[in-house]
Structure 1
Amino acid sequence: MKRIFDILAALFTLLVLGPVLLGVAVAIKRQDGGPVMFRQRRIGRGGHEFSILKFRSMVLNAEKLGGYSTADGDPRITPVGRFIRRTSLDELPQVINVLRGDMSIVGPRPDVPAQRADYTAEEWRERHLVRPGITGLAQATRRSEATAEERKRLDIHYARHASFWMDMRIIALTFRQIIGKGGN
């Protein structure tokens, strides 16, 4: 049931938000002429690596100028990037990852390989029993305010207790966060 929901939700998103996706792509391209998409190796279900898709929100070669995580005011984030991050539009190309089967609409956000060091072997195995998601429990409840430890705890909790109804609740909470009513 979850996979069917994921496919239908991803197709619906592409259909309904197609003009928005096109507008974001044009804005990014006009900003500096660089690539519209950003690809990065991430860890999926079972510990398998895949290439995540995002709209590029940072300057060209940003990964050479800093680490894999960013904070508010990071100088590598472009003006268009600030807007698409604040509105979560940068994440929308991941519906393609959902259609490919790399990701789900809801699940723990996919880690970069370097984050393996933040987990015990058992935590890493357990966290990757489910597909990673475009949104997850940590994003729905804490947005980007969650500490690494809180995020890990919430991701493992999701992997242990995932259900269709939990996914629906996470989606609703995510929309509240995006439109600014979720608070912390």
Structure 2
Amino acid sequence: MKRLFDLSVAVVAAVFLAIPFLMVMLAVRLTSPGPALYWSDRVGRHNRIFRMPKFRSMRIDTPAVATHLLSDPDQWLTPIGSFLRKSSLDELPQLWSILKGDMSLVGPRPALFNQHDLIALRTEAGVHTLVPGLTGWAQVNGRDELPIPQKVQLDTQYLQQRSFLFDLRILWMTAVKVLARDGVSH
């Protein structure tokens, strides 16, 4: 049922957001050199690596590390990068990953391939058995501001309590947080 729900919502969202998607693509291309999409290697279910697209909010020469590990993340942002991140518009291309089955609407956010501490803690807690999500329980409870052990604790709570109604609650909370731009860094 979860996969059918994911597919249905992703298809409807893709159709509904087609024009904004094209507008953001064009804005990224016009404001900085390089492609509109950035494909990053992420850790999926059972720690399998997959390629996840995002609208590019950082310059093409940015090191491939989590944003919080950069000494001055703002220096790497494109002219519209901050807006894309604060509005979460940079996440729209992940609908492709949902359609493909690499991601779900709700689950733990996919770790970067080089976030070894996060990957190890999730594996130890059994969270690696879940399909990663566009949003998740940790996302709505702190997003970028949470330390890794606390993220894993919340991911573990999701693993233990997951249900269709819990997913709907997380999706609702996500919409509220995105509209309020709550917990977004850079």
Compute the TM-score of the two structures, normalised by the length of structure 1: 0.90
Quick check: 1:68 aligned with 2:71? no
Question: Hey, what's the Cα distance between the residues in 2 that align with 1:125 and 1:40?
Answer: 24
Q: Map of 1:82-161 to 2, 5 A cutoff?
A: 82-118=82-118, 120=120, 123-124=123-124, 126-161=126-161
Q: Output the amino acid matched with 2:66.
A: Y
CA apart distance, 1:69:
2.4
CA apart distance, 1:30:
0.3
| Alignment RMSD | 2.2
Question: Hey, what's the Cα distance between the residues in 1 that align with 2:108 and 2:118?
Answer: 15
CA apart distance, 1:120:
4.6
CA apart distance, 1:142:
1.4
Structure 2: 5+ residue stretches without partners: none
Contact 1:127 1:159 in 2 (8 A): yes
Quick check: 1:6 aligned with 2:12? no
Contact 1:28 1:36 in 2 (8 A): yes
Segment drifting more, 135-144 vs 83-92: 135-144
Corresponding residue for residue 51 of structure 2 = 51
Structure 1 runs of 4+ aligned residues shifted over 4 Å read 119-122
The 1:28–1:142 alpha-carbon spacing in structure 2 relative to 1, beyond 3 Å, is: same
- Residue aligned with 2:27, SS: helix
Q: Output the amino acid matched with 2:83.
A: F
CA apart distance, 1:125:
6.0
The 1:150–1:14 alpha-carbon spacing in structure 2 relative to 1, beyond 3 Å, is: same
The 1:119–1:18 alpha-carbon spacing in structure 2 relative to 1, beyond 3 Å, is: closer
The 1:24–1:154 alpha-carbon spacing in structure 2 relative to 1, beyond 3 Å, is: same
Question: Hey, what's the Cα distance between the residues in 2 that align with 1:6 and 1:76?
Answer: 33
Compute the TM-score of the two structures, normalised by the length of structure 2: 0.89
Question: Hey, what's the Cα distance between the residues in 1 that align with 2:175 and 2:134?
Answer: 12
CA apart distance, 1:68:
2.4
Q: Output the amino acid matched with 1:114.
A: N
Contact 1:44 1:128 in 2 (8 A): yes
Question: Hey, what's the Cα distance between the residues in 2 that align with 1:34 and 1:177?
Answer: 30
- Residue aligned with 1:108, SS: coil
Question: Hey, what's the Cα distance between the residues in 2 that align with 1:98 and 1:104?
Answer: 5
Contact 2:38 2:54 in 1 (8 A): yes
For residues 17-70 of structure 1, give each alpha carbon's deviation from its aligned partner in whole angstroms, at most 9, with x where no partner exists.
111111100000001231000011111111111001100000112126xx3223
The 1:120–1:102 alpha-carbon spacing in structure 2 relative to 1, beyond 3 Å, is: closer
CA apart distance, 1:117:
2.9
